[in-house]
Amino acid sequence: MALVALGVMLLICIPALKLATAQQHQRPITKSLETEPQTSKQQLPSTDGKNSRDPNRHAEETNKEPQKEPENEPQKKPEPENESQKDSDMQDQPDIDITAPVVSTEMKKLLATYVDKNGLVNYQKLRRLRGELRPIEKQLNNVHPAKFISWSKNERIAFWINNYNIFTLKLIIDNYPIDPIIKWPIYPKNSIMQIRGPWTKHYFKVMGLEYTLREIEKDMLMDKFGDPRICFALSLANIAGPPLLNEPYLPEKIDEQLDEQIKKYFSSPQGLKIDHTTKTVHMSVIFKLNEKRFINKYEQIKKFRNKKPNIRAFLNFVVNYIDPGDAKRIQDGDYKVEFIRYNWTLNEQPKQTKK
């Protein structure tokens, strides 16, 4: 009986103990739930040093009218910190000129000052005063394309020929005196050929775009206009090529200038020599360098039909610019053509030595 009573008491006490234990564990949980809101009400630090929960600040922010973000408002360029920065910014932005002339006064003055009547250039002085080239370069870069399109054929031809010759001067003075570490032994020491890639590796700005000398010659002149006379107007900066004119090419008289330039070149031993004894016409290598251009224009003429197309084209061109008597003898006789050895020496005026 005693054992039975003890078992009954255990059955009653054990659940009571479990219930008491559960109540003890529930009290901390209830307490934590009651204190959690207090923890969330703690003031958090603000990133700007002020209390983000500050009621005064919140009231100020609430009373403020919401600011609308500007729509499509252009961003203003920050003001330059100093005058030198302002000048630099002004130089970087091209001052496009829709009224630009084909030939500027500065270009006329520069060519007349540094190029003599024989086409020789005072590179030594021009190098020292190369700042005189800068306004000309700026003018060529600032010409507006709309202005260029409005120009006549002769104006465009004159514009690009003058560009080519001015940029050739710049190419030389930028590398003057020409004295590379590694020299081409087949060319003179002071030759344009000692400059790396003179016609393809150097870029010049016109109307906001960059051009090489080769691109100006081929793309902007020969391919567009197809006039072989232009070959004799472009300076190759040597004493064997056509002399550099000491004035710009002008639209109103460009045909006259081109014809006179060719006649002057053919009267020199570097341009053309006719030997009636051996019945030989000695020509400049300029013809070979521009062979296709002469063939396209002069090969179809029915003179010299017993010659090869290139020689026929060369002779058809030459007879227009030489003495009529010489032209007749060449046409009637069976003259052969040979090419004059080319001299790549720089077309430089004799240097003045200090006394």
- Domain hosting 157: range is 97-339
More confident residue, 70 or 354: 354
Please report which confidence band the pLDDT of residue 352 belongs to, taking 50, 70 and 90 as the band edges: confident
Is residue 323 situated within a structural domain?
yes
Inside any domain, residue 13: no
- pLDDT digit string, tens, across residues 32-83: 333 344 433 333 334 444 444 343 344 344 444 445 444 444 444 455 455 4
Q: Is 18 a domain residue? A: no
User: Rounded to whole angstroms, how far apart are CA atoms 118 and 350?
Assistant: 12
12 located within any domain: no
User: Does any domain span residue 126?
Assistant: yes
Mean pLDDT score, 269-282: 97
Report for 73-82, 97-106, 199-208: range of highest mean pLDDT: 199-208
Per residue in 20-31, pLDDT (tens digit) is: 444 444 444 333
Q: Read off the pLDDT of residues 257-273 as tens digits, 9 standing for 90 and up.
A: 999 999 999 999 999 99
In a domain, 45, yes or no: no
Query: Number of structural domains, the chain?
Result: 1
Determine the pLDDT at residue 55: 39
277 domain-assigned:
yes
Provide mean pLDDT across the span 146-168: 97
Q: How far apart are CA 196 and CA 200, in angstroms?
A: 9
Range in 35-49, 118-132, 189-203, 273-287 the model is least confident about: 35-49
Rounded to two decimals, the pTM is 0.73
pLDDT-above-70 percentage for the chain: 71
Say if residues 249 and 308 touch (Cβ distance below 8 Å): no
Is residue 140 one of the residues assigned to a domain?
A: yes
